[in-house]
Structure 1
Amino acid sequence: MAKKVKKRKEIRRKLLHKYRLVILNESTFEEKISFKLSRLNVFVTGSLCIIGLIGLTTLLIAFTPLREYIPGYSSTKLKRQATELTYKTDSLVRTLDYTNRYLNNIRMVLRGDIENNEINRDSLFEQFKLDPSTINLTPIREDSMLRAEVALEDKYNLFERNMEKSDLVLFPPVNGTISEQYDAEKRHFAVDVVAPRDTPVKAVANGMVIFSEWTADTGYVMILEHEDGLLSVYKHNGSLSKVQGDIVRAGEVIASVGNTGKFTTGPHLHFEIWDNGTPVDPMNFIDFN
């Protein structure tokens, strides 16, 4: 027991024993600075300096751009760029998917393929049929006032009346004799109009050129996109007057009658109308005589 006490006293004496650190002038041995130190003071002071240095380094790394120079530490700028690129990539993927579907529709129009030639109207009516007993048909005051106001405007506004047409009327692309009519059973989704070579072919409505190229089977082909998902297709042309991206007006010359392509049988216009991916008979909307 006495040995342990003696050992503790010895350790305490060594820790608290005072030493003097003196800085002298080398030439004159004049004392400039002196410090009284002990082992305990040196240990405490050194520990505090190390802790302070670690804290300062941590603050510099956490709140200054210096952290970007540490290998393996991600940069804030790089994170931001990666996030922006992720959003752009996702947007490009959606755009690419939409473009591919759009191109598939164009290819379908060029090949004359459709997924389903017949639509069961009864099944559509049954699907969207509503039960009148579940709907409140009592007119409200605001609805009655709006109907009266619209009726009054329609009564006196003779020139700007917004009339709903039951049938769509289009500008005839060319006048001539019909050599082959629309026949869905034979997969001939067009009318063939015989006309002299180089007769101007005109746009049936306002729209934009989405295809204007040469194809081996149908020669010079032009496809116009109109409002409400309507497409007009002109095949076997002798020449094309418009390019992809051009805006055309109804009645504007876009091509000329020709006899181009492997499947042609003489100078004529092969004309198609597609409504939201479904072919329709052009003679229901156009008088070619």
Structure 2
Amino acid sequence: MSESGETKRKLWERLKDTYRITILDDENLEEIGSYNVSLLNFYIFISVIGFLLSVLVISFIVFTPVKRLIPGYGDITDNRKFIEISEKVDALEKEVAANELYTKGLKNLLSGADSEKMKLLRSNHR
């Protein structure tokens, strides 16, 4: 057998070796619990705990308002609302500008002040 095969076998055997964990009471040395554990079981236990902890943290971030604290993370609905509001503001600004132009023209017409266009129209009409 090759050396790499032997080291793999040795590693696999070491992972399968069982160890006894005994919990004793310090005062009277009474055995509280005893557990048989292998390194493989320990690695699997640590991996499952790590996976569950990461799922818990990710779900906490995704499903709560904490996600807004992450820099660069934007809520799509907030962006849509912002775009809708900015479009409405632009439309209102255009409407206000048109109303101001209309009001200015109406004031000039009522006050009798001739603009260059009115003078040009009158000269062409005659």
Q: Verify same fold: TM over 0.5.
A: yes
Aligned match of 1:112: 114
Matched letter for residue 40 of structure 2: L
Tell me, which stretches of 5 or more residues in structure 2 are unaligned? none
> Max radius of gyration: which structure?
1
Q: Secondary structure at the match of 1:96?
A: helix
User: Could you tell me how far 1:79 is from its partner in structure 2?
Assistant: 3.6
SS in 2 for 1:28: coil
Unaligned 5+ residue runs, structure 1?
118-183, 186-289
Q: Distance in 2 between the 1:31 and 1:93 partners? A: 82
Query: Which residue of structure 1 aligns with residue 47 of structure 2?
Result: 47
Q: Following TM superposition, by how much is the alpha carbon of 1:14 offset from its aligned partner in structure 2, in angstroms?
A: 1.0
Structure with bigger helix share is: 2
Report the CA distance shift for 1:4/1:87 in structure 2 as closer, same or farther (over 3 A).
closer
Q: Which has the higher strand share?
A: 1
**After superposition, where does 1:66-77 map in structure 2 within 5 Å?**
66-75=66-75
Structure with more relative contact order (C-alpha pairs < 8 Å, separation 6 or more): 1
- Deviations along 1:68-122, one digit per CA (max 9) or x if unpaired, are 23333225675465245324322322222322322342354242224562xxxxx
Aligned equivalents of 2:32, 2:76: Cα separation in 1: 50
C-alpha distance in 2 between matches for 1:33 and 1:82: 61
Return the alpha-carbon distance in structure 1 between the equivalents of residues 4 and 76 of structure 2. Answer: 58
What is the root-mean-square deviation in Å for CA atoms of aligned residues? 2.8
Q: Structure 2 vs 1, CA of residues 104 and 66 (structure 1 numbering), >3 Å: closer, same or farther?
A: same
TM-score (norm 2): 0.69
Q: How many residues align?
A: 119
Given the superposition, is the C-alpha separation of residues 4 and 106 from structure 1 closer, same or farther in structure 2, using an over 3 Å criterion?
A: same
